[in-house]
Amino acid sequence: MDMKAMMRQAQKMQVELAKAQEEIKSMTAEATAGGGMVKVVAQGDMTIQSIVIDPAAVDPEDTEMLQDIVTAAVNEALRAVSAQGSARINAATGGMNIPGLM
């Protein structure tokens, strides 16, 4: 492969990566915990968009359980959106591992 072809390929990948990064920002993932008592939606920029707690999950005598359920739902939502982002980056790079992307 000649140098010009390599440069064109690198520029094409750079454009595709920029597009992928924009798409990732708008991705969302939803996770539930506690049998659906807590629902969390995470965004591709690794922020939490929403948390919905079923009133039945709120027991003033057992706040630790609610904390654990919320933590589990948040962690699962973040893992899911991270996996979506990684898959999109992988598609953009053709499986090439580029450190620091995800």
Q: How many domains does the chain have?
A: 1
CATH number at residue 36: 3.30.1310.10
| Percent of the chain with pLDDT strictly greater than 90 | 67
* pLDDT for the residue numbered 66: 95
Under 8 Å between Cβ of 25 and 47: no
DSSP per residue, 50-74: EEEE-GGG--TT-HHHHHHHHHHHH
Name the β-bridge partners of 48: 42
Q: Does residue 84 sit within a domain?
A: yes
Residue ranges making up the domain that contains 72: 3-93
pLDDT, tens digit, 9 for 90 and up, residues 1-56: 688 888 888 898 889 899 999 999 999 999 999 999 999 999 999 999 999 999 99
* pLDDT for the residue numbered 102: 57
Q: Which residues have C-beta within 8 Å of that of residue 83, sequence separation ≥ 6? A: none
Q: Does residue 64 sit within a domain?
A: yes
> From the CB of residue 18, how many other CB atoms can be counted at a distance below 10 Å?
11
pTM, entire model: 0.80
Q: Does residue 30 sit within a domain?
A: yes
Q: Does residue 100 sit within a domain?
A: no
